[in-house]
Amino acid sequence: MDLLSRKATCNSHGQDSSYFLGWEEYEKNPYDVLKNPHGIIQMGLAENQLCFDLLESWLVQNPDAASFKRDGQSIFRELALFQDYHGLSSFKNALANFMSENRQNRVFFDSNNLVLTAGATSANETLMFCLANPGDAFLLPTPYYPGFDRDLKWRTGVEIVPIQCLSSNGFRITKHALEEAYEQAKKLNLNVKGVLITNPSNPLGTTTTQTELNILFEFISKNKNIHLVSDEIYSGTAFSSSEFISVMEILKNNQLENTDVFNRVHIVYSLSKDLGLPGFRVGAIYSNDKDVISAATKMSSFGLVSSQTQYLLSSLLSDKEFTKTYLRENQSRLKYRQRMLVTGLEAIGIGCLKSNAGLFCWVDMRHLLSSKTFEAEMDLWKKIVYEVKLNISPGSACHCEEPGWFRVCFANMSEETLKLALKRLKKFVDNGALTCSRKKTMTTISNWVFRLSFHDRDAEER
């Protein structure tokens, strides 16, 4: 008899073996400026390490927030006991305001429509449990964050059907691709419950355009059973706030408040990228549908945010001086860092998708492939990991339709390290070493790709 569930024994937690491999290699040989200057530089981690100084000086100036004090009085007991799944209201208010601020107050978020969860990972899974039954499908534009295969499908039994986006138009969602995906789902006998987009996009680093949003809204207006989930986890990383258009704005500008569409649009947020706090596990679901809010609130019991953390962050985000400065600084430092990566790549003859957000660039290395295949992409990737000693994410891990694209992160290291990474890459490209394909790596591909990934490894970073 099977002692464990299929969920536990199968590989459908979706942890892609090749993606895992780069991680493992990095862990074995991590770059350190002093201790291991020839180690692998981690460029597969979408972390925002650019503004910790701002956070740390705020903490120094406001010691009460981390010490369980309010106006000098201890509130430890109150916080220790606080497990209300409605969340700390001061925190939800501050978070709702922060989300509005991220959108230049063009829209307003009501904290009553917010559900707190342990990270966006938890928020996305919870939304799937609320909106879909096992066997239902969500349409996702490719390329998408590899973690979605686990977060949206694993325990929920929901399926993902890709909306195929191509480089020919900058990977934009087209009406045609959307409808094709819908038809494909029907062919597979899957009931489509919604569309999920990440805006700004991971791994593209681009904000969803007005045109794309129009296409999506037209689609869900026409198909009244379909939800739209917009994961706006990177909203604060848009280099210019005016270029980021949230689905909330479409609802407002198109005056959809009294239509049924209003209840079928949901937003996911988190402080892991904008504030660089993935360790604190702070995510949120925002919805205008009372039933979704009610159910998601109860489900959040399975992943509440620590009250200690809620309190710290309610203080931080209630400080408007701080949030204003932070958002502005964050944007400008990210923009600067992205420029550094882009120009560095250009100097090597490598282009990337023109991006205006995110913590990474979507890099075009198609010209370095030995053949226009995913096998060649894997070959190239292995060379970059083992010989150039850079861990970057291959497009295939993100379900990209075209081989040769890679996601390269720029905000999780110092300027010097980024410069070194570019230097290494330049050296190899100049030497032509990247363009020769090596057969010796072929047998190892099979082993690695089909190896049961039960080895422990760090959690997937987006």
CB closer to another protein out of 209 and 306: 306
CB closer to another protein out of 447 and 454: 454
The least CB distance from residue 199 to another protein, in Å, is 22
Using CA atoms, how far residue 26 sits from 157, 390, 395, in Å, is 32, 8, 18
CB closer to another protein out of 192 and 197: 192
Active site residue 386: no
The least CB distance from residue 301 to another protein, in Å, is 5
Asked if residues 151 and 121 have their Cβ atoms less than 8 Å apart, the reply is yes
Task: State phi, psi for 83 to the nearest 5 degrees.
Answer: -130, 25
Asked if residues 318 and 111 have their Cβ atoms less than 8 Å apart, the reply is no
State how far the Cα of 40 lies from the Cα of 60, in Å rounded to an integer: 34
The least CB distance from residue 56 to another protein, in Å, is 6
The least CB distance from residue 271 to another protein, in Å, is 10
Of 92, 193, 273, 389, which one is the catalytic site residue? 273
Report residue 47 as tokens: 């972390």
Residue type, 292: V
Q: What is the number of other CB atoms lying within 10 angstroms of the CB of residue 346?
A: 11
Beta partners for 197?
Answer: 230
Task: Name the DSSP letter for residue 12.
Answer: T
Listed residue (240, 226, 255, 74) closest to 163, CA to CA: 226
The least CB distance from residue 399 to another protein, in Å, is 19
Tokens 């032509």 -> residue: 432
Active site residue 233: yes
State how far the Cα of 292 lies from the Cα of 228, in Å rounded to an integer: 13
CB closer to another protein out of 226 and 390: 226
The least CB distance from residue 6 to another protein, in Å, is 6
Tell how far CA 404 is from the center of its chain: 21
Positive or negative CA dihedral for 75, 281, 206, 254? negative
CB closer to another protein out of 148 and 374: 148
Active site residue 231: yes
Q: Identify the three-state secondary structure at position 351.
A: strand
Asked if residues 25 and 385 have their Cβ atoms less than 8 Å apart, the reply is yes
CB closer to another protein out of 387 and 415: 415
The least CB distance from residue 150 to another protein, in Å, is 7
Of 136, 149, 231, 289, which one is the catalytic site residue? 231
Active site residue 269: no
Of 145, 286, 311, 326, which one is the catalytic site residue? 145
Listed residue (154, 157, 122) closest to 299, CA to CA: 122
CB closer to another protein out of 312 and 352: 312
Strands lying side by side in the sheet with 393-394 = 351-352, 360-364, 405-409, 393-394
Of 233, 285, 350, 392, which one is the catalytic site residue? 233
Tell how far CA 324 is from the center of its chain: 23
Beta partners for 30?
Answer: 40
CB closer to another protein out of 206 and 412: 412
The least CB distance from residue 141 to another protein, in Å, is 21
State how far the Cα of 55 lies from the Cα of 51, in Å rounded to an integer: 7
Tokens 């890099």 -> residue: 363
State how far the Cα of 373 lies from the Cα of 219, in Å rounded to an integer: 33
Task: Name the DSSP letter for residue 40.
Answer: B
The residues carrying an active-site annotation are 145, 231, 233, 273
